[in-house]
Every structure is written in C-alpha cells, then in structure tokens.
Amino acid sequence: MKGWLQHQRYALAVTIRRLGQHPFSFLSNLVVLSLVLSMPLLGASVLFSVQPLSKEVSTTPAITIFLDPNASLDTAKSVVKKIEQANDPDIHQITLIDKAQAIDDLKHNAAWEQALSVLSENPLPHAIVVYLANEDHLAQTADTLSREWRNWPEVAFVQLDSIWVQRLEALMRLAKIGLLLITGIVALVVLSAVFNTVRMQALSQRDEIAVARLVGATENFVRRPFLYQGAITCALATLIAIVLSHLFLEPLNAAVGHLAKTYDAIFVLNTAPGGLLWLYFIGASLLGALSARWSVTRHTRF
C-alpha cells in the first residue's frame, strides 16, 4: 500500500511538472474545455428551471363535456355517474354545470345581461367538467378519454383543454433530446482535445519514456502521469465551467425577469442541482482520464 501511494504521488508530481513546463498550452486547453463544458450546464439549468413550472401549470387540466342541448338534467347526472363508475385513476374530480345555473350567472354579468334578455329559452347545454390527476403522460390520457366520450350518444361536443399541455410536453421532450445531443457533442470534443494534447505530450516525452522502460519501468508507471494529466485538466475545466455557467445566468435572468414582469409573474433560472454538478464533475474527470489512457496507449508503442 505504501509503495502504491508513493507511485501515485510521483505520478502526480510528474504531471504537475509537465503542465508547468507548458503553461500556455495548458491554459489554452482549460479555456476551450471550460467553455465547451459550460454549454450542457446552461442547458440543464434552463431545463431544470422550466420543468417545475410546466408541472405547476398542468396540475389541473380539464376536459369539458357539452351534452345535447335537449338533454335533461337527469341525463347529465347519468353521464356523471357513468364516468364515476369507470373508476378511472386518472380522473381527479368531476363537476356538473347546470345550464339553468350557468345562464343565471351570465345574466348577472353586465356584459351579457342585455343580450340574454331577448332570448325566449335557454340556449346553453348542460356541461360536465372533468379534472384530471397530475401524471407523466397527461396529454395522452386526456386525448384518450376525450375520444371515448365523444362517441357517447348524450354528448354533443368534447372540448379538450390540454392542447397546450401537449405542446408543452413536446417542447420539454425536444429540450431533453437537444440537451443529450449537446452533451454527446461536448463529450466528443473533450475526447478529441485530451487525446491530441496527451498525444503531443507523449511524443515530446519519447526519449524519457524509452529510458524509463530500459531501467524497468512498467507500462502502468509510464502511463499514470498522462492519466493524471487528462483527469486534472478536465476536472479544472469542469470547475471553471460551473463558475462560467453561473455567471452566464446573470444576464439571462435579467432578460427573463423583464419578460416575466410583462405577464405579472416571477421566473428565475437557477443552476443545476448539486448532485448533477457532482456527477458532471466526476464524469468529465473520468472521461479525461479514459481519453488520456487511450491516447498514451496508442502513441507510446516504440
């Protein structure tokens, strides 16, 4: 165990010495990698900030069932009972709106009072408002139920109030796919950058590696400093990327805040959760180490 720790300390010291010998190249890599690594963090911040909002606005989507204008109140109650007997777990609440009560409410509205006074009979139908429970596939559930109820003989029209929910869910799915694609592209950029950097470093240390092998150095001993180089570079770049993403959110929040005020709302873009940031940090560091191992394995065979 003591010998293993000594080897790790030696490899770490060699890595720091090599990085110090080429500070401009090291800093250039840090700048490029940190800017690239900040892109998925910004996307994740926007996605995690919008996701709670989308769940909040879609908590009580409703399907309004309009019965035939000639249908009686007893018919409307039978339709409500029929829906209740289905015991559908996706249905949260059912409200029956009596057409007599509905037109009475409209008559108390000054905008409608004069227009309704000339009518000889009530033109409104009985309506049933069905509120759905909050669940993941909300739009699909609402569409399925509305298609079923449209075929009932007592029903004249079904108004699906969740078209905007479908669009919102589609946008969220698109955002998630886009974020995955960006993350994949960033991973390829990191692999390429670390691979080429380690390749150049390995070729420049060709003589040193050859001498180390002559005196009995193992392949792991030769490769270990390069693995540390890849991991340290990506780890530092990730930390800088986290700071940059936080700084980039400041002007974005200023712009989004002005837009939200026009809707009398408050909306703030927050950084990604701490657990995700740790996972991102560890993943980027491992990716740098694996890329370095791949590069040094290919370019130290001499």
H-type alpha helices, 205-273: 206-214, 219-261
- Please report, to the nearest 10 degrees, the dihedral formed by the alpha carbons of residues 116, 120, 121, 124 taken in order: -30
- Regarding whether 182 and 268 lie in a shared domain, the answer is yes
- Regarding whether 187 and 150 lie in a shared domain, the answer is no
Q: Please, which pLDDT band fits residue 302 given cuts at 50, 70 and 90?
A: very low
Query: Of 97, 127, 161, which one is at a domain's C-terminal end?
Result: 161
- Regarding whether 227 and 79 lie in a shared domain, the answer is no
Strands 155-160 and 127-132: unpaired
Residue position matching structure tokens 């770049």: 237
- Regarding whether 49 and 83 lie in a shared domain, the answer is no
- Regarding whether 267 and 217 lie in a shared domain, the answer is yes
Percent of residues in the chain assigned helix, strand, coil, to nearest 5:
70, 10, 20
pLDDT of 151 strictly over 70: yes
Strands 91-97 and 62-67: unpaired
- Regarding whether 243 and 96 lie in a shared domain, the answer is no
The predicted-structure confidence for 80-113, as pLDDT tens digits, reads as follows: 888 888 877 778 788 888 888 877 777 777 666 6
Beta carbons within 10 angstroms of residue 197's beta carbon:
24
Number of domains in the chain: 2
Task: Provide the domain limits for residue 140.
Answer: 60-161
Go through the chain and tell me how many residues it has.
Answer: 302
The predicted-structure confidence for 210-267, as pLDDT tens digits, reads as follows: 666 666 666 677 778 888 888 888 899 999 999 998 888 888 888 877 777 776 667 7
- Regarding whether 48 and 77 lie in a shared domain, the answer is no
pTM of the model: 0.62
76 and 67 Cβ atoms separated by less than 8 Å: yes
Query: Of 119, 142, 161, which one is at a domain's C-terminal end?
Result: 161
- Regarding whether 287 and 171 lie in a shared domain, the answer is yes
CA distance 88 to 91: 6
